[in-house]
Amino acid sequence: MIVLGIETSCDETAAAVVTDAREIRADVVLSQLDDHTPYGGVVPEIAARAHLEHLDGLIRRAMAEAGVGFGDLDAIAATGGPGLIGGVIVGVMTAKAIAAARDLPFVAVNHLEGHALTARLTNDVAFPYLLLLASGGHCQLLVVEGVGRYRRLGTTIDDAVGEAFDKTAKLLGLGYPGGPLVEQAAARATNPGRFALPRPLVGRPGCDFSFSGLKTAVRRHVEEVGAPLSDADRDDLAAAFQSTVAEVMADRCARAIARFKADHPQGGALVVAGGVAANKTLRARLQILADREGMPFVAPPLRLCTDNAAMIAWAGIERFRLGESDPLTFAPRPRWPLDPTAAPVIGRAGVGSGVKA
C-alpha cells in the first residue's frame, strides 16, 4: 500500500509518500519560518497563503523523490484538523481534488493522531502504550489503546509546553520558534543551577500540567536581573527553564505510568511525540524514568517529532487498512480532540479540544 500524505495545519507545508511496510519513500517539509519571523509568531492568513503557493510543488517533489505517479497510490491522506483553519482547508481541498480526479480514497487525518502513531511508523510499537504528546498547542498524557482509541489521563490547565518554550524564548530575547533556541542557549549555560524556578503541580495528584506560573517566574527573574540581559544571564535562565520543564514532565509521567500499569498489567512502552519531543534534555530525563519503571522508551527521530507529512501518510495507512476512509464532503475541523469523552479542563476554555496542534 502506498499513500501520499499532506500536512498544512500550522506553519509547515509538507508532503510525503509512505508505504504500509513502514517505508518513508519521500518526506519533504517547507518551513514558513522566514514568512512569520518578523511578527514573532505564526500569522494564520500568511500561513494559509503560503500553503496555497507551495503545496502543489511540494507534492510534485515528494512523488518524484518517491518515484511514484498518481496511478501508483492507494489513497491520499491529509490533515483534516485540528489547526489553523485556512491552512487545513488548503491541504484538504488539494487532497480531495486529487482523490476525485484519480478516483482514489481520501482519508482525513487528525493531526494529533499523526503525532500519536509516529512511534508505530518508526519503531513498530504495539498497542497499548502511554503517550506524552508535547507540542506547540498541546500537552497531554494519553493511553493509546488502538487506532482512533485514546484515553486522556491529563492535559495542561493553562499553556501548552511548546507555547511555554516559545514565550520564554521571547522573554529572553531569543526569537521564534522558541524551543530549539532555548535548547541551544541552555547548552551554552555556564552556571545552569543559578536560578531556581517553581515546579508547578509537582508532587500533586493527577496527571495534569501547568506552565503559566513557570513563565511568570522567568519574567520575574528577567526583571530582577535587569535589561539588557547578558548572554550568561540568558543562557543560565534558559537552562533553568528547560531542566524545570523536564522535571515537571517526568513527575507527571510517573503518575500516568502508575495508572497505565494498573489498567494494563501486561505493560507497554512510554512514547513521546510532538515538537517538544525533539528536546534532548526532556528525552534524556524520560529515558531515565522509563528505565526506572522497566518500560521501553520510544522517541521518534527529531525530524519526525516536529510537524511533517510522513506521520499524516502513516496515520492514513493505519486507518485505511482498517477499512476507514472519508467522503469528499468531509469538513475541515479547527478543533478535533483525540479523546472526545475527556472532561473539559477547568481554568482555560479550549485547551484539550485541539485548537492547535
C-alpha to C-alpha distance for 15 and 29, rounded to whole angstroms: 7
With CB under 5 to 8 Å by kind, the binding choice for 110 among Zn ion, ligand KG4, none is none
Q: Which is nearer to ligand KG4, 253 or 276 (CB)?
A: 276
Contact yes or no for 170/40 (Cβ under 8 A): yes
How near is the Cβ of 203 to ligand KG4 at its closest, in Å?
24
Which one of 84-92, 131-139, 178-186, 264-272 is the stretch in contact with Zn ion (CB under 5 A)?
Answer: 131-139
How near is the Cβ of 114 to Zn ion at its closest, in Å?
7
With CB under 5 to 8 Å by kind, the binding choice for 178 among Zn ion, ligand KG4, none is ligand KG4
Residue 24 pairs in a beta bridge with: 18
Per CB under 5 A, 163 contacts Zn ion: no
Number of residues lying near Zn ion (CB under 5 A): 3
* Residue 268, SS3 per DSSP: coil
Which one of 57-65, 120-128, 134-142, 291-299 is the stretch in contact with Zn ion (CB under 5 A)?
Answer: 134-142
Sign of CA dihedral 348, 350, 352, 356: negative
C-alpha to C-alpha distance for 242 and 282, rounded to whole angstroms: 8
How near is the Cβ of 265 to ligand KG4 at its closest, in Å?
32
With CB under 5 to 8 Å by kind, the binding choice for 306 among Zn ion, ligand KG4, none is ligand KG4
How near is the Cβ of 293 to Zn ion at its closest, in Å?
26
Per CB under 5 A, 307 contacts Zn ion: yes
Which one of 97-105, 306-314, 315-323, 333-341 is the stretch in contact with Zn ion (CB under 5 A)?
Answer: 306-314
How near is the Cβ of 275 to Zn ion at its closest, in Å?
6
How near is the Cβ of 84 to ligand KG4 at its closest, in Å?
10
With CB under 5 to 8 Å by kind, the binding choice for 279 among Zn ion, ligand KG4, none is ligand KG4
| Closest by CA position to 113, among listed 147, 86, 84, 141 | 147
At position 182, the amino acid (one-letter code) is V
Per CB under 5 A, 12 contacts Zn ion: no
At position 258, the amino acid (one-letter code) is A
337-340: long-range contacts, CB 8 A cutoff, minimum separation 24: 337/82, 338/110, 338/112, 338/113, 338/116, 338/140, 338/142, 338/150, 338/152, 339/142, 339/150, 339/151, 339/152
How near is the Cβ of 263 to ligand KG4 at its closest, in Å?
27
Q: Which is nearer to ligand KG4, 177 or 325 (CB)?
A: 177
Residue 110 pairs in a beta bridge with: 81
C-alpha to C-alpha distance for 283 and 298, rounded to whole angstroms: 9
Contact yes or no for 207/156 (Cβ under 8 A): no
Per CB under 5 A, 66 contacts Zn ion: no
Matching residue, cell 549555560:
189
Site residues (CB under 6 A) for ligand KG4? 10, 135-137, 162, 165-166, 177-180, 183, 274-276, 278-279, 306-307, 357
Which runs of E-coded beta strand occur in the chain? 2-7, 12-19, 24-31, 75-81, 106-110, 129-134, 139-146, 149-155, 270-273, 297-298
Per CB under 5 A, 135 contacts Zn ion: yes
How near is the Cβ of 314 to Zn ion at its closest, in Å?
14
Binding site for Zn ion (CB under 5 A): 135, 307, 357
